Amino acid sequence: MLEDTSRTELSSLGEFGLIKHLTEHVTIKNPSSLKGVGDDAAVIQYENKVTLVSTDMLVEGVHFDLTYVPLKHLGFKSVIVNLSDIYAMNGTPKQITVSLALSNRFSVEAAEELYAGMITACEKYGVDIVGGDTTSSLSGLVISITVIGEAEKDKVVYRNGAKEKNLLCVSGDLGGAYMGLQILEREKAIFKENPKIQPDLEGKDYIIERQLKPEARKDVVQMLAELNILPTSMIDVSDGLASEIMHICEQSNLGCELYEEKIPIDTQTYDTARQFNLDPTLCTLSGGEDYELLFTIDIADYDKIKNLPDVTVIGHMTDAAKGRNLIAKSGSSHPLKAQGWDALLKK
């Protein structure tokens, strides 16, 4: 994948040359980006807003596998996972900085591919690349992105604002990104055994896209604003539903009841989980990377959201003493466990 017909060595440009090369087509679009790449720091001006900052580091071999992740998709996704954190605060991402460590295994063309994916994500979400750093690495690729966004101070939604009897809601559907990863890992294993076999991805397009090209739920944040709903708490689903619910319960000092039958699962996700002898519910609870929004709302807002096609009420918040429980389809109650998807992978 990293073999190019035309390959330009990173060393031919040098560190300053590479940054300059990668950012020369980057244009600044937001009025709040007073100064982008090219000085000691970027300069940003938000009028009467608070500033939101979040950062994520992605490491080759830990967070991504370049044998099946195209660099352009990786660039796109690495931006999306950061933007998602700002939407999860009910804010609007406006700027990012990008730091890359690249080993000499990568060519200038490979760095361009990665950057092209980042630029695509930025254009789609109206975000400016205002700074960054490129450096060499002794092994592999490390991507560190910091996103900066704005919000009205009294509209920022934290994890700790949920109240008893609030409804627990989630956007989209869950578990797809995790099942997409299982398909890609299976095909990688088959390819290793026999490189002549073409990958069999038929009928798996949705879940593979969930894994390789996730979106951030800007639309959900906008929709809630249009409906005049201010969630009482919110978090993005990056580490699996159970883990995120636990964060809200812990920080809001509450318990919850989560209804298994309400958890939104796409048919493709469900069927693939069954093919892999995995419990579909467990895949949503412990599989990660869906980047949907999990939020709580006052029960008085129920009428506003009950007919929204892309939001599902999956439970409600309770007194902390009641614990955090999954109500199974059978009606029985089980303590919710946040294993994280590391645990799932080790099964």
3-state secondary structure of 15: helix
The partner residues of 93 in beta bridges, in order of sequence, read 149
The answer for 317, left when phi > 0, alpha when psi is -120 to 50, beta otherwise, is beta
CB of 151 to its own copies, least distance (A): 8
CB of 101 to its own copies, least distance (A): 5
CB of 321 to its own copies, least distance (A): 23
CB of 338 to its own copies, least distance (A): 9
In the bound state with its own copies, the residue whose beta carbon lies nearer, of 130 and 181, is: 130
Strands of the 293-297 sheet, one edge to the other = 233-236, 293-297, 167-171, 311-319, 254-259, 324-327, 333-335
Which H/E stretch holds residue 268?
Answer: helix 267-275
CB-based contacts of 177: which residues, under 8 Å, 6+ apart? 207, 210, 211, 214, 287, 288, 289, 290, 291
CB of 122 to its own copies, least distance (A): 15
Nearest-10 Cα torsion for 152, 153, 155, 158: 130
CB of 134 to its own copies, least distance (A): 8
CB of 342 to its own copies, least distance (A): 8
Cβ count near 137 (within 10 Å): 16
Cβ count near 267 (within 10 Å): 9
Tokens of 267: 């048919």
| Residue whose C-alpha is closest to residue 46's, from 86, 82, 93, 98 | 93
| Residue whose C-alpha is closest to residue 264's, from 324, 340, 326, 175 | 175
Chain contacts with its own copies (rule: CB under 8 A): 14, 34-35, 38-46, 50-63, 85-86, 88-89, 91, 95, 97, 99-101, 130-133, 135-140, 142, 144, 146-149, 151, 153, 156, 158-160, 234-236, 251, 340, 342
In the bound state with its own copies, the residue whose beta carbon lies nearer, of 219 and 342, is: 342
In the bound state with its own copies, the residue whose beta carbon lies nearer, of 43 and 225, is: 43
In the bound state with its own copies, the residue whose beta carbon lies nearer, of 158 and 276, is: 158
CB of 144 to its own copies, least distance (A): 4
Q: In this structure, are residues 301 and 166 in contact, taking their beta carbons and an 8 Å threshold?
A: no
The string of DSSP letters for 144-172 reads: EEEEEEEE-GGG---TT---TTPEEEEES
In the bound state with its own copies, the residue whose beta carbon lies nearer, of 45 and 332, is: 45
In the bound state with its own copies, the residue whose beta carbon lies nearer, of 14 and 203, is: 14
In the bound state with its own copies, the residue whose beta carbon lies nearer, of 133 and 200, is: 133
In the bound state with its own copies, the residue whose beta carbon lies nearer, of 52 and 297, is: 52
